[in-house]
Amino acid sequence: MADREVVPPPEWTDQKIGTKVRLALWLRDVIGEGNTFTKAQLRDAFPESAQVDRRLRDLRGDGWEIETRLTLVNLNQHEFLFVRAGEPVWDPATRAARVARRALSVRVRREVFKRDGHACVRCGSQAGVVPLEVGYVVPLAQGGTTGADNLITLCPNCHVAASRDSHTSGEEEVWLRMQKLSPGEQSRLLAWMALDHRPVSAVEEAWQLYRAAPISQKNALKERLARVIGVRDEGDKPA
């Protein structure tokens, strides 16, 4: 264990290591937690890998929190948010755990799917509608086993959510954030809590559509809105 720490983690540019490990190091060293990155940056960094999107998904399975537009509405279509690093996938011990995970036998997977009625245990999505995956109740990194009793059937979305839940912040940490909000924001948050859902406002929805529009349309839309607001402000002026 002790001599393992002497070995520095490899550089993300090291072509000898696998794409997933390089991707993890790139996120950590180039992008940094809390920052966004685009699909184009991803392709520029890994031009040789056609599967880089898939590797990103693999990292989520290792507890890396990477949000997309599907999970965070204020991102645009080609944008990702690197929230937090997960398991140090460049670490040999983590790699050993991964090998164990991959060794999950076909028999065990089949047993788990069958037991769970071939549906995601969180949202109920059925096999055939979504690709089903096997997730850990207690993550391997926290001492979980690869036995069927530590496994559940999940769809890809719920798998991401589940691994995020297992990395939740402490109550005090969350509370501190809540206390820093303005009274108006606190009320809004409480309303979302009551709904257990965050409704997307009309203005946010319009913003998302605008963000996803091609540049020529963006310019036209900006001009049209500016014109309407200009006319309105003009009309508001006392004669």
Least distance in angstroms from the C-beta of 154 to Zn ion: 6
Calpha distance 234→226 (Å, rounded): 12
Does residue 42 bind Zn ion (CB under 5 A)? no
155 contacts Zn ion (rule: CB under 5 A)? yes
Question: Shortest distance, CB of residue 157 to Zn ion, whole angstroms?
Answer: 6
99-125 CB burial, b ≥16 within 10 A, e <16: eebeebeeeebeebbeebeebbbbeeb
Q: Which is nearer to Zn ion, 35 or 126 (CB)?
A: 126
Q: Is 116 in the site for Zn ion (CB under 5 A)?
A: no
What phi and psi, each to the nearest 5 degrees, are found at residue 47?
-65, -25
* Binder of Zn ion out of 23, 45, 56, 120 (CB under 5 A): 120
| Long-range contacts formed by 28-32: CB under 8 A, 24+ apart | 28/85, 31/82, 32/82
Q: Choose the stretch contacting Zn ion; rule: CB under 5 A; options: 45-53, 70-78, 158-166, 221-229.
A: 158-166
Q: Is 122 in the site for Zn ion (CB under 5 A)?
A: yes
Instruction: Evaluate whether 157 touches 143 at the Cβ level (below 8 Å).
Output: no
Kindly state the number of chain residues that form the binding site for Zn ion, as judged by CB under 5 A. Answer: 6
Query: Stretches 88-96, 123-131, 179-187, 212-220: which one binds Zn ion (CB under 5 A)?
Result: 123-131
Determine which residue in the list 56, 132, 158, 162 makes contact with Zn ion, applying CB under 5 A. 158
Cα 88 to chain centroid, rounded: 17
CA distance readout (Å), 9 to 17, 24, 52, 94, 96:
11, 11, 21, 13, 16
Given 7, 96, 123, 220, the residue binding Zn ion (CB under 5 A): 123
Dihedral pair phi/psi, residue 36, rounded to 5°: -95, 160
CB of 137 to Zn ion, least distance (A): 15
* Residues near Zn ion (CB under 5 A): 120, 122-123, 125, 155, 158
